[in-house]
Amino acid sequence: MTKQNQIEMGVLRVLTLEDPEDVSLHGRVIEQQFPHISTTSRCIPDHPEGIPSVEAEEEALPYIKGLGREMATDVDVLTISCALDPAVSTLDNEVDVPVVGAGASVAAIAIARGETVGTLGLESGTPPIVRNLLGDRLGATETVEGAETTNYLTTKEGQTEIRTAIKRLADAGCDVVAPSCTGLTTSGVLGDIGSSFEIPVVDPVLAMAAVGTTTVLPITTASEVEA
C-alpha cells in the first residue's frame, strides 16, 4: 500500500469509451463500496464494441497486455473489469503487482456463498474462466433477453427481464447468482434492485475489488493490532 490502509487499484476497461466519467464508472462503484480503495481507470483504444465474444477477445489481447503493463507500474493491484478475464494470467505472471479479473472473482465469491451457482449473461454463453472455475457447481445459465445494449437494463422492461431471469435460476435450484458480464454492474441495476432478489446476486465488479483487497497486505500486522 502506498499509505496506511489505502489501496491503489487499477481498473482496466476492455471497452473504448470517450467520456472519462464512463471509463471510471466501475472504479467509482468500487470506491463507493470500499472507501479505502483509490482507483485509476483506463480503457483500451479502438474497441468501441468491447469484446462481446471469446473470438473478439483474441484480437483485443495485445491492447490489454500493453495497457496492463503501463497501469501496473502505478498501482498496488491491477484489475481487468471483464468477466472473460482477458490477459489476466499473462499479466499476473509478468508484472510486479497482483492482477485480478472479474470472471474468476465473481465465480469464486459465488461458490463461497452458495452450493449451486446460476450464471447470468447479456450474451449467450458463460465465459470459459467462469465455467471452469464453477465446475459442477454451475447449476444453470440464463441470458437477459433483449439486452443488446446495457442501456436496456436500466429500463423498467430490462429490470423486469433481469428479475425474471433470476427467478428462473432460483427455480432451477440455484442458490446464488454470478452475473458473468460486468455490463450488469455498468447498468446500475444490481445496486438498484439487488437486495430484493430471492437469492443473492453477486456484483462482478465488487467481487473483483473484494478479491483485489486480499492481495494487498496491511502495513500493520496482526501482532501490531494486539492491544
Residues in touch with its own copies (CB under 8 A): 5, 21, 25, 28-29, 32-36, 98, 100, 104-105, 107-109, 111-113, 133, 135-136, 154, 185-192, 194-195, 200, 202-203, 206-207, 210-211, 213-215, 217-218, 220-227
63 vs 118, beta carbon nearer its own copies: 118
Q: Residue 146 Cβ, how far from its own copies at the closest point, in Å?
A: 19
> Of the two residues 52 and 191, which places its CB atom closer to its own copies in the complex?
191
Tell me whether residue 134 is exposed, middle or buried, using C-beta atoms within 10 angstroms of its C-beta: 0 to 12, 13 to 18, 19 or more. Answer: buried
Task: State in angstroms the smallest separation of the CB of 138 from its own copies.
Answer: 12
Give the strands of the sheet with 7-13, arranged side by side.
Answer: 37-43, 7-13, 77-80, 99-101
Q: For its own copies, give the closer residue by CB, 105 or 141.
A: 105
Half-sphere exposure of 47 (CA within 13 A, CB side): 21
Nearest 5°: phi and psi at 82?
-155, 135
Q: How far apart are CA 177 and CA 76, in angstroms?
A: 29
> Residue 171 Cβ, how far from its own copies at the closest point, in Å?
18
Amino acid at 25: L
**Smallest gap, in angstroms, from Cβ of residue 224 to its own copies?**
8
